[in-house]
Structure 1
Amino acid sequence: MTMPVIELREVSRRYDDGPPALYGASLTVRRGEAVAILGPSGSGKSTLLNLIAGLDRPDSGTVTVDGLRVDRLSEAGLALYRRSKIGMVFQFFNLLDDLTVADNVALPARLAGMARGVADRRAAVLLELLGIDRHARAYPGRLSGGERQRVAVARALMNRPPLLLADEPTGALDTAAGQDVSRLLTDLNAEGQTIVVVTHDLALARSCTNRTVRIADGRITEDVVRSQAVGSEAVR
């Protein structure tokens, strides 16, 4: 059995004096899986994503990603972790409007210390792979929503992260562009990329992942793996 990319053990997180945003969550994601985290607003799915991404710390429990105890890292260690271990795709792209598409994609590698020429060549390869190389010298504001999300995915893959996290990646897109991004995620997973998609959109979850984890009121309530056979499911 392959080594887990994500291991959460009895993770809880509470904010202020309210009920726990996440309570006793345990989750294992293995290399090459594509997993959808489903739940309504306020269910705890964003908290779960933030804990995996090292953007927040649990009150209790452990968070391990690619063999690294994320919950034990210093702030400097977390910055390095986010640079090298994960790629993140957001609902609203988070591209820098004053940089070209190519420079946006190359930025994570440049921040990691990669030589400019090497970073530029890697960015060019990704832009071609994702079908947007013709926009390399354009600025993000000139692109459609679907094209900007492809740029965001290319940027997330720049440092070859073992884990790609997507937070409502089609939430700001129209139907056609959303389907385009869904197919892109499917293709990336087919090539071996481990992907976790946080969404409230069941159609997106079914189209680009083969496992759904449902969260309600801060608790994981269901974990279902769909096999290749249509309609075949197994509850973990």
Structure 2
Amino acid sequence: MTTPVIELREVGRRYDDGPPALHDVTLTVRPGEAVAILGPSGSGKSTLLNLIAGLDRPDAGTVTVDGVRVDRLGEAGSALYRRSKVGMVFQFFNLLDDLTVTDNVVLPARLAGMGRGQADRRARELLETLGIDRHARTYPGRLSGGERQRVAVARALMNRPPLLLADEPTGALDTAAGQDVGRLLADLNADGQTVVVVTHDLRLAESCTSRTVRIADGGITEDVRSHAVAPEALR
């Protein structure tokens, strides 16, 4: 059986004196899986995403991603971990408007120390694969929402991370662009990319993932695989 990409064991997180944001969460995601984390606002899904991304630390339990104990990392270690292990896609793209599409995409690689020539070649490859190479020299403000999200996906994949995290990736898009992003995520997963999508949109989950994990009141209430489970996930 393959080593998990994500392994959470009895994870808990509480803020101030309120009820726990997460409690006793155990979750395993294997290479090649596409998993949707579903839940309403306040259910704990964003806290779960932040723990996996190393943006927050649990009060209890362990968080391991691709062999790295994320819960033990300091600030510098967390930043290095995010550069090498996790690609992140957000609802509002988080692109830099004063940089071209190519410069936005190469930024993570340049921060990781990759040479400009190698980074540009990798960016061209990604932009071509994602069907937006014609916009390489365009500034993000001139693109549609769906095109900007494709740029964000290219940036997230720049350093070949084992895990792609998508946080409400269609929340700022119209229906047609949202469906396009769903197909893109499904295609990436079909090529072997492990994908975790945090969303409240069941239609998005059904279009691009083969496993649904539901969260309510800080705990996992359901974990269901569809018939289309990636073969790698079952080894």
- Which category describes the TM-score, using the shorter chain as reference length? over 0.9
TM-score, normalised by the number of residues in structure 2: 0.97
Residue of structure 2 equivalent to 1:178: 178
Q: Name the CA distance, whole Å, in 1 between partners of 2:177 and 2:222.
A: 29
Residue of structure 2 equivalent to 1:232: none
1:93 positional shift: 0.1
For 2:45, the aligned partner's letter is K
1:97 positional shift: 0.3
* Matched residue SS, 1:170: coil
Residue of structure 2 equivalent to 1:225: 225
**1:22-41, aligned counterparts within 5 Å?**
22-41=22-41
**1:75-86, aligned counterparts within 5 Å?**
75-86=75-86
Residue of structure 1 equivalent to 2:232: none
Residue of structure 2 equivalent to 1:116: 116
Deviations 1:122-149 (A, max 9, x none): 0011000000000000000000000000
Q: Name the CA distance, whole Å, in 2 between partners of 1:174 and 1:208.
A: 17
Residue of structure 2 equivalent to 1:234: none
How many corresponding residue pairs? 229
Residue of structure 1 equivalent to 2:143: 143
* Unaligned ranges ≥5, structure 2: 230-235
For 2:49, the aligned partner's letter is L
**1:1-236, aligned counterparts within 5 Å?**
1-228=1-228
* Matched residue SS, 2:164: strand
For 1:46, the aligned partner's letter is S
Q: Name the CA distance, whole Å, in 1 between partners of 2:32 and 2:2.
A: 9
For 2:91, the aligned partner's letter is Q
* Matched residue SS, 1:49: helix
1:2 positional shift: 1.6
Root mean square deviation of aligned Cα: 0.8
* Unaligned ranges ≥5, structure 1: 230-236
Q: Name the CA distance, whole Å, in 1 between partners of 2:155 and 2:4.
A: 24
For 1:117, the aligned partner's letter is G
1:3 positional shift: 1.3
Q: Name the CA distance, whole Å, in 1 between partners of 2:104 and 2:222.
A: 37
Runs of 4+ with deviation above 2 angstroms: none
Q: Name the CA distance, whole Å, in 2 between partners of 1:92 and 1:228.
A: 29
For 2:136, the aligned partner's letter is A
For 1:192, the aligned partner's letter is G
Q: Name the CA distance, whole Å, in 2 between partners of 1:192 and 1:228.
A: 14
Q: Name the CA distance, whole Å, in 2 between partners of 1:121 and 1:191.
A: 20
For 2:28, the aligned partner's letter is T
Q: Name the CA distance, whole Å, in 2 between partners of 1:120 and 1:68.
A: 29
1:65 positional shift: 0.1
Q: Name the CA distance, whole Å, in 2 between partners of 1:223 and 1:118.
A: 41
Identical aligned pairs, as a percentage?
86
Q: Name the CA distance, whole Å, in 1 between partners of 2:214 and 2:228.
A: 20
Deviations 1:22-66 (A, max 9, x none): 000000000000000000000000000000000000000000000
Q: Name the CA distance, whole Å, in 2 between partners of 1:204 and 1:124.
A: 28
Q: Name the CA distance, whole Å, in 1 between partners of 2:81 and 2:74.
A: 10
1:223 positional shift: 0.2
Q: Name the CA distance, whole Å, in 1 between partners of 2:75 and 2:17.
A: 25
Q: Name the CA distance, whole Å, in 1 between partners of 2:175 and 2:226.
A: 24
Deviations 1:81-140 (A, max 9, x none): 000000000000000000000000000000000001110110011000000000000000
Q: Name the CA distance, whole Å, in 1 between partners of 2:228 and 2:74.
A: 41
* Matched residue SS, 1:42: coil
For 1:115, the aligned partner's letter is G
